[in-house]
Amino acid sequence: MITQMRIQSEAATRRRNPCMRPFTLAGVTGSVLFVLVFTVDGFLRPGYSPIHQVISDLGIGQNGWILNTVLVIFGLLFMLFTIGFFQAMRTLVSKRRLLAGTLLLLLTGAGAVNDGFFTEYNPVDPAASLHDTLHNIGFFVAFGALIIALFIIGLQLRMQRTWRGYGWYSIITSAVTLLLMLLPYAFSSYGAQFEGLNERILLIEAFVWQIVTGCRLFAL
């Protein structure tokens, strides 16, 4: 009876918010687009190594605008996804935790937009040092906020019978994302040799959560 009432409440929430489904799908579109673009862009750039070089290296030099543009698009789509996620979770997550998680997810999107405008160190840029600093801040804000948001949301959803597995999946994603962020700093030789590979695993692992979430909410 309680489960049926909850399903009816979720359905009513979706009817009141017609933008919820397309907004959650925006997250899926943004993640797939971003991964596709940086994969193809790296493959086509002469001399670029996806194993040794970070993705941000594609944001400077020849055709750097491609990565920077898709970063801004991805960040904006992530923010739309966050709005849809907030609407969908209003009956499942407590108000304080949902508000905190939503604000943190918005920071993740903002961090991506920031990194689209401010590239890593570029020798031909007069303000290279400032832009590089802002770029690094954007990266750590984006993923730091995502780690905390997934942990907060996961703790709440694991107490819901129909969302328990998803709650644990969010917590595990949070932990793995943190581990992958710290790995290059904990093992400097690994970071020096496989920084590009590690970053790609980090991004794909984290963005799969958004794809899984967006598809599930859209299917509902």
- Is residue 220 scored above 60 in pLDDT? yes
Q: Please state, for a pLDDT cut of 70, what percent of the chain lies above it.
A: 91
- Is residue 115 scored above 80 in pLDDT? yes
State the amino acid at position 13 in one-letter form: T
Tell me: the pLDDT tens digits for 39-64? 999 999 999 999 999 999 999 988 89
Residue 5: which residues within 8 A CB-CB, separation 6 or more? none
What is the Cα–Cα distance from 20 to 167, expressed in whole angstroms?
20
Q: Give the pLDDT of residue 23.
A: 85
What is the Cα–Cα distance from 111 to 134, expressed in whole angstroms?
10
- Among 33-37, 107-111, 122-126, 138-142, name the one with the lowest average pLDDT: 122-126
Chain-centre distance for alpha carbon 152: 15
Q: Give the pLDDT of residue 124.
A: 82
Structural contact between residues 79 and 114, judged by C-beta atoms closer than 8 angstroms: no
Judged on CB neighbours under 10 Å (0-12, 13-18, 19+), 208 is: middle
Q: What is the span of the domain harbouring residue 129?
A: 2-219
Q: Give the pLDDT of residue 2.
A: 44
* Confidence category of residue 1, pLDDT binned at 50, 70, 90: very low
Q: Give the pLDDT of residue 15.
A: 53
Does the predicted TM-score (pTM) go above 0.85?
Answer: yes
How many domains does the chain contain in total? 1
Residue 4: which residues within 8 A CB-CB, separation 6 or more? none
